[in-house]
Amino acid sequence: MVTAKAELNELFAIPPVTELPSDVLGELQSILRLHSISPEELSYKWESYTMKMGSEQTTLDLDTARAFKKDLQEMLERESRGKAHVRSVDKRGAYATPRSTGKGDDVFGMLDGIVPNTPVPQRANSLAKRKSAFETPAVPKFNKANGMSSPSDARTNGTTSMAFSERQNAGHLVETLNDHLPVCDPPVAPPAESRMKLTANTDLEKFSYKPMAMHLSEASEVLDDRIDEFQSLVQAHHNLEDSAFGNPANQATSEIIAVGRIASEGMEGKLNASSLMLETSRRTGAGLRIPLKIESMSYEFFPGQIAAVRGINASGLYFSVHEMLEMPLLPPAASLPSTLEVLNERLGLEESSESAAHAVNVLVSSGPYTADDNLAFEPFNALCEKAAESYADVLIMVGPILDLEHPLLASGDFDLPDDASIEPDKATLNDVFRILVGKPLRNLVLQVPNIIILLVPSVRDAVNKHVSWPQEQFDKKVLGLPKQAKVVTNPVTISLNEIVVGISAQDVLDDLRREEVKVGRPKESSILARLPRHLIQQRHFFPLFPPADRTSLLKTGTEEGVATGMPLDVSYMKLGEWLNVRPDMLITPSSLSPFAKVVESVLVVNPGPLSKRKGPGTYAQLSIYPRKVTEEERESERVGGTMFGHHLFDRARADIIRI
């Protein structure tokens, strides 16, 4: 264990200390033996554990080492129980999915448009052919004459991108929120320690489920539970009796309140005012659907929306809506004044002064990160240079990073840089990521050692084997990412100091725009403010159900031309819910115009893609000022332990900038 001991000291000892205490080292060596893992893999697990528990509370000592060991053991036992359950279910066949009719869809047509169609395997294919279909295509050798240019026959829709170096209006401000606040001043030198404390508010381990194993019975229970939970929320919010609720599908002469899911009358076609239906849960309405008749009212609906309606079904043919009940919102995020003051000290804020030097610098970007005709990742490299120049505190990168819809990646016909330390004929997409993405990030942390880099995957990421949403995080071990890079799930809720941030890589805003139907005159005229409000009211990162058919989405530059769409695993939709509070900031990348807006006290940011198909895109820069604590707030905490909101929307400047 001499080699392992040296590795553990190197990975876990915090300078200037070079060796761990013997009792802590013994616990770590015990974990290595029990789980048969390497010290490097143990360091990744420790990093995930500290994110879950909060880095301030997980300084490595004997107690935390034992707690870490116990957590790993419990996780292993949960995985074993889950595998045993799957084996028993498969053996009984109780939840087996009905067999297909052979026409390419499921028996009842219930999954049409929900998950992308997959080709039907041919029985005549040999085992070798089936195996090769899943192997990463070999990468051709690098052509030094062309550098990172694309082959002449690459599939790029017959168009050529503008050279990135010749781009116009680089650094131009597209939009600014709270322009009365100055942009944060970069420090003279990078900070000696990180000014931001990162905590994962999402249980990342729950996302490590087995994808493409959805059972219809489990999916229906999840959909029903969501309706029932909202009915309880509506009842408590409006102080209603149990007798006020009823089954809207039953003919009756008395007025009732019904809670259900908005659905369309037909399996195909867009939702419209004449095809509105309310789907009940099995507990409240036997799962029946009833047409809705809405007159002289203004409201916006979309498929999957949970709605509470007051009305009457006098004829038994439809439910006549008299009133739409307001959905209760989650409370805003709040903290104790003493906690805020500790975090302000971390920023170097003194009681009597406040300046742009105390503001936190956060950069937010979303994929794609390179144009369609090359893999030079020039916009991404420019973003890393910007982060280094401004000594950014946090860099949030939302996928896709290696995009499945990129024509060159889809065809496998591209070159690697000549300085790659790999054999080109044996290169995998993990190697491509490590060279084209990992190397610039490693250079960035050399210049800004205490930066926090957050990587959020997308269902379009070629290096993430988890193909469905909600989605597991990247495998940090194989991607060559630096220690400062943190990999999280899609979606995820995190805390940066006191600030609660919700992030989802799926373009839910564009999907909502396509599926939304407006009854009467909308209450909110701005579509960029109206669409995020749906997420806030529904308490979910993706409340749309079923997702938009991927054949109706924008065509891609690949040979197939069909978008990836939203491969939703309905059984795990609950992982996309907001559980306790409204986030202070919601990051929702979208193909819609980039923006930064305040909606229901939530700062909503769409940074836009860093690279468009034929040209550079945009990113967001946030200058976040400390939350000042007043003497009245301190007194309220001393008297009654009162917590106060963070008011991020008042103290954060958001700039949308062209790269």
In DSSP terms, 621 is beta-bridged to: 363, 655
What is the reported pLDDT for 397? 97
**Residue 507 in contact with residue 590, Cβ under 8 Å?**
yes
Structure-model confidence comparison of residues 115 and 279, the more confident one: 279
> What pLDDT, on a 0 to 100 scale, did the predictor assign at position 557?
61
- Per-residue confidence at 597, pLDDT binned at 50, 70, 90? very high
The per-residue pLDDT for range 294-349, each reduced to its tens digit, is: 887 888 899 999 999 999 999 999 999 999 999 999 999 999 999 999 998 888 77
What pLDDT is attached to residue 640?
86
Strand ordering across the sheet containing 602-606? 198-200, 492-496, 499-503, 585-587, 602-606, 595-599
Tokens encoding 25: 């080292």
Listing from the earlier edge strand, what are the strands of the sheet with 485-487? 173-177, 652-658, 618-624, 360-366, 394-398, 452-456, 485-487
For residues 77-83, average pLDDT: 67
Which neighbouring-strand residues pair with 485? Answer: 453
Q: What is the pLDDT of residue 129?
A: 42
pLDDT of 13 reads 79
CA dist 597 and 654 (Å) reads: 9
Residue 151 has pLDDT above 50, yes or no: no
Nearest to 405 by CA among 556, 264, 266: 556
Half-sphere exposure of 571 (CA within 13 A, CB side): 14
User: What pLDDT is stored for residue 191 in this prediction?
Assistant: 84
Using the predicted structure, report yes or no on whether residue 607 has a pLDDT greater than 90: yes
Instruction: Give the C-alpha distances (Å, rounded to integers) separating 476 from 374, 438, 480, 486, 527.
Output: 25, 10, 7, 8, 37
Residues 6+ apart with CB under 8 A from 338: 634, 637
Residue 65 has pLDDT above 70, yes or no: yes
C-alpha–C-alpha distance, residues 298 and 522, integer Å: 6
* 303: Cβ contacts below 8 Å, ≥ 6 apart: 262, 263, 264, 271, 515, 544, 545, 546
> Is the sign of the CA dihedral 379, 380, 385, 387 positive or negative?
positive
Q: Find the farthest-apart pair of alpha carbons in the chain and give their distance in angstroms, rounded.
A: 82
Of 9-18, 74-83, 361-370, 583-592, the least confident: 74-83
> Taking phi first (over 0 means left), then psi (-120 to 50 degrees means alpha), and beta for anything else, what does residue 156 get?
alpha
pLDDT band at 613 (very low <50, low <70, confident <90, very high): confident
With a cut of 80, say whether residue 169 has pLDDT above it. yes
pLDDT value of position 42:
83
Range of weakest confidence among 2-6, 227-231, 254-258, 455-459: 2-6
The better pLDDT of the pair 371, 58 is held by 371
Percent of all residues in the chain with a pLDDT value above 70, rounded to a whole number = 82
**Exposure string over 600-636, b if 16+ CB within 10 A, otherwise e:** bbbbbbbbbbbbbbebbbbbbbbbbbbbebeeebeeb
Strand partners, 196: none
- The whole-model pTM stands at 0.80
Q: Do 568 and 542 touch, CB atoms closer than 8 A?
A: yes
Decide: helix, strand or coil at residue 506: coil
**Segment among 104-108, 200-204, 308-312, 553-557 with least mean pLDDT:** 104-108
Q: Does 112 have pLDDT greater than 70?
A: no
DSSP 216-253: HHHHHHHHHHHHHHHHHHHHHHHT--GGGB--TTS--S
- Lowest average pLDDT, out of 25-39, 106-120, 254-268, 392-406, goes to 106-120
Higher pLDDT, 115 or 579: 579
CB-CB neighbours of 294 under 10 Å: 19
Q: Residue 111: which pLDDT band, with cuts at 50, 70 and 90?
A: very low
Q: How confident is the model at residue 123 (pLDDT cuts 50, 70, 90)?
A: very low
Q: What is the pLDDT of residues 199-255, one digit of tens each?
A: 999 888 999 998 878 788 888 999 999 999 999 999 999 999 999 999 999 999 899
Using the predicted structure, report yes or no on whether residue 155 has a pLDDT greater than 70: no
Residue 219, φ and ψ in degrees, nearest 5: -60, -40
**Each residue's pLDDT tens digit, 479-531:** 989 999 999 999 999 999 999 999 999 999 999 998 998 877 777 778 899 99
pLDDT at residue 423 in the model: 75
How large is the average pLDDT for residues 274-302?
90
Instruction: Give the residue-averaged pLDDT of 42-49.
Output: 78
Rounded distance between C-alpha atoms, residue 644 and residue 523, angstroms: 30
The answer to whether 28 and 19 are in contact (CB under 8 A) is: no
Highest mean pLDDT among 353-362, 413-422, 449-458, 510-519: 449-458
Q: Which two tokens stand for residue 159?
A: 């168009």
pLDDT at 105 over 50: no
Cβ–Cβ under 8 Å, residues 471 and 412: no
Looking at every residue in the chain, the average pLDDT score rounds to 83
